[in-house]
Structure 1
Amino acid sequence: MHSSLIEQHLAELEQCATQGSILDLACGQGRNGLFLANKGLGVTFADRSENSLDQVSQTLSAIGGSSQLWPVDLELPGKNPFEGTQFSAALVFRYLYRPLIPQLMEAIIPGGIVIYETFTLENRQFGRPNNPQFLLKSGELEDWFNEWETLHYFEGVLSDPDRAIAQIVCRKPITKKSSSH
């Protein structure tokens, strides 16, 4: 089942899709991107797992449309996987690789949307993931996007299943905020 955040912000994503492809980053089985592809939106499914992308491909062949698969290792040291690419929006769920964040932000077009949800340090009380390398610190997600327009932010515990997460939906500014000297 896709995330309710996707449905809640479908209008914004539909608008973004008129400007370019929507990135489903570290897509796994593609549940969120496939929901959008099924609505006729162009999605780029990025993952390093060929098996996951094969499953996404099988579903996409039934849907049709303009979506594409991108087999990519997002965690190669010293590499920017987004170099030369731009996306109108990005979906990131249950994935955290901190060095990628500035590169992801740069790859989103002005006015584009990021929907990001992943686990926080509090999640250790519920089990996995419990490695701090893969868990957000309090306020960390919000801090990354502090110059973007926040459309939604939540940090806390959800149930069924129990998990501690942070979520943000934000829009990249059309123009950079000017800094005063």
Structure 2
Amino acid sequence: MTDLPFTLDLAVSMPDPAWADLTPNLQTRTEEITSIALQEISRVFELKPIAGSQQPSVEISLVFTNDSDIRALNRDYRGKDQPTNVLSFPDSPLDQAELEQAVRLGEPLLLGDIVLARETLIREAEAQHKNVSDHFAHLLCHGVLHLAGFDHMDENEAVEMENLEIMILRRLHIANPYELSDQPRQETPDLK
């Protein structure tokens, strides 16, 4: 991946094989979306290449699954017994000190896991009159931002996160998903 102060390693798991038919070139598209999201995050965090050494490796695990599997995860980890579109499980913070430590240890920086549910993604895209591939890009971008520490627990955080999503999606030639919606921005269950 180019323009990153680290190399990116995506560990992709696809328990729901129907994901392969959801968007053309799923693997390539996933790498592109994740790389661009991390470029913007690196810019915001002012991450720099580490001089005179091998660049650190950042690893993200992606799981492309279904409503049944994500419902169980949502129930077990968030206490919500219903499917959701995307879950993020952060591991290590993405900052300069962690990148430098990864180089010293010779180990990848494990950023975390992102789990996406195909059926929920499709239902939402249809209900919001959005292209499924574009909605996938938005949710993946959203998950990567969560791994990097962004959240939407209050209005200011939500606005910051949405603005980053819009910027990343613009680089992917995807329209602002919040302007496409037939309704005003919906409060997320976590935003109270």
TM-score, shorter chain, exceeding 0.5: no
User: TM-score range with shorter-chain normalisation?
Assistant: under 0.3
Identify the structure with the greater strand proportion.
1
Identify the structure with the greater helix proportion.
2
User: Taking structure 2 as the reference length, what is the TM-score of the superposition?
Assistant: 0.26
